Amino acid sequence: MKVDALVIATGEGSLPLATGTIDVLGYSPGLVSSPFEALPTFLHANPEHPYRIAGIDGVEHALAWLAETAESLGYQGGLVRNRWVPTVLGGLRPTSMLPRSMVSADLHANAHAEIVVAGIRGYRDFHPALLAANLSLATPPSGGRTIRARATEVEWPGNSSDLVPFRLARRLEEAAVRREIANRIRPSLGGATAVAMPALLGRERWDEVHRDLEGRLERDVFEVPGLPPSLPGLRLSDCLRRALRRAGGRLLLGSSAVSATRVDGEVRSVTVTQAARHTEVKAGFVILATGGFAAGGIARDRDGTLREPLLGLPVHGPQVGAEPTSPRFLGSQPLDRAGVRTDPTGRPLDTAGEPWARNLYAAGAVLAGAVPWREKSGEGVALATAWAVTGAILGGAQ
């Protein structure tokens, strides 16, 4: 079915800051080795969690959709088992899907006899010695022996002005630069079977960069995402933008939705900003995907009132007088769970518990009940709820 879709985006969204891996469920609260097995119990214990809108089937479908839509990025994995990938500090974190440039970063039992962590001297956001030292202390939760990792740092063959992520990524798309980098890494390889590198291996031509380095080093090469900007996240963002455009959808980047018109229980139009005035966009269906507290999709007034600023939807979360945060930085933060409550199909509820509008849906971090950074569920919630509500819209529109 052909749908006329418009995405109104105040800025690029958070993908350029994200790892490019797809987290579904990493902790519940203990470490999860199989999201597929853990999800029923998790949902039972967290009946308000946004995953309930999609169900486990919906999560699976959403991941399959991503693998197909972002086929050029070569995503692998799924719900059956979590992958264990190194962080830029050398910890291991669980995630469900990896793009091809990170597939060999999955450090399940004895995946690699030894890893060389190769950094670039002078690049400030990737410290191979730190990464390798911490990684050497880790044992994959799936069993096996301690990971063996060692660090090397090579001189950059270009100018020091190249040593920022977007320029390094562009320069690495040049064959001559790669040849030189590979020549400088090669003497340190020894018996290593894999090379970990900062996630800077090209933007558009990442596949060529990655394959070429693997060929030259005769080892598995994988990217380790670190501080933003994140090239794997940018590639995914580029890829999804292209997919939207090719499907006939439109993106209004830099504009903001400021209000909506609701008549007889239906949203009729959304008012958006333009250069000199506001304009109304008529819509048959509207999906609210404005993000959580950090993105501004949920706001908190000085008196402690939580608001959903665009439509004024009631927000479920710590109420006035309740402590919104915990003094323990990594502790449970009540504000994290704040968001919009919905009916089982993803339609936000009004104060009486009825859908605010028949044709309004919500997806992603604006929904109440998830703590993505603790659960490691951010991409999963975004994908699964988007999948579920678009399915509800397409089904309802037929």
Partner 1 sequence: MSARVDPMGSSDHLESGAALVRSSLDACIKCTICESACPFAVATPLFPGPKTVGPQAERFRSGLSSADWSVDYCSGCGICSRVCPQGVRIAEINAQARARLKERTGIPLRDQLLARPDVMGRLGQPVAPLFNRAVETPAVRTIMERTLGIHRSAAIPRVSPRTFQSWSRRHPPAPGPDRVVYFHGCSVNHFEPRLGRMVVAVLEHQGLRVDVPEQGCCGLPLQSNGNFPAARRYLTRLAHRLAAAADVSVIASSTSCGLMLKREGREILGVDDPALADVSRRTWDIFEFLRDLHERGLLRTDLQPVDLCVAYHAPCQQQNHLMGKPAIDILSLVPGLRIIELERDCCGVAGTYGLKREKHDISMSVGEDLFHDIRGLEPDAVLCDSETCRWQIAKATGYPVVHPVEILHRAYSGGGRPPRARG
* Closer to partner 1 by Cβ: residue 13 or 140: 13
> Closest distance between partner 1 and the C-beta of residue 250, in Å?
6
Smallest gap from Cβ 358 to partner 1, in A, equals: 24
Q: Which is nearer to partner 1, 48 or 173 (CB)?
A: 173
Tell me how far, at minimum, the Cβ of 217 lies from partner 1, in Å. 26
Identify how many contiguous H helices and E strands the chain contains and give both numbers. 9, 19
By the 8 A CB rule, do 309 and 338 touch?
A: no
Residue (16 or 140) nearer to partner 1, CB: 16
- 192, 111 Cβ separation under 8 angstroms: no
Closest C-alpha to 295, from 327, 339, 328: 339
Long-range interactions of 134-137: CB distance < 8 A, separation 24+ = 134/89, 134/90, 134/91, 135/86, 135/90, 135/92, 136/90, 137/90
Q: What are phi and psi of 170, to 5 degrees?
A: -65, -45
Task: Characterize 146-181 residue by residue with b for buried, 16 or more Cβ atoms within 10 angstroms of its Cβ, and e for exposed.
Answer: ebbbbbbbbebbbeeebbebeebbbbbbeeebbebb
Shortest CB 4 distance to partner 1, Å: 11
Residue in the structure block whose two tokens are 């919630």: 381
Q: Which is nearer to partner 1, 28 or 290 (CB)?
A: 290
What is the nearest approach in angstroms of partner 1 to the Cβ of residue 282? Answer: 9
- Nearer to partner 1 by Cβ, of 64 and 299: the residue is 299
User: At closest approach, how far in Å is the CB of 230 from partner 1?
Assistant: 9
Q: What residue ranges bind partner 1 (CB under 8 A)?
A: 6, 10-14, 16-17, 159, 161-162, 164-167, 170, 228-229, 234, 242, 245, 250, 252-256, 272-279, 295
Residue 37 — φ and ψ, nearest 5°?
-80, -30
In the bound state with partner 1, the residue whose beta carbon lies nearer, of 290 and 390, is: 290
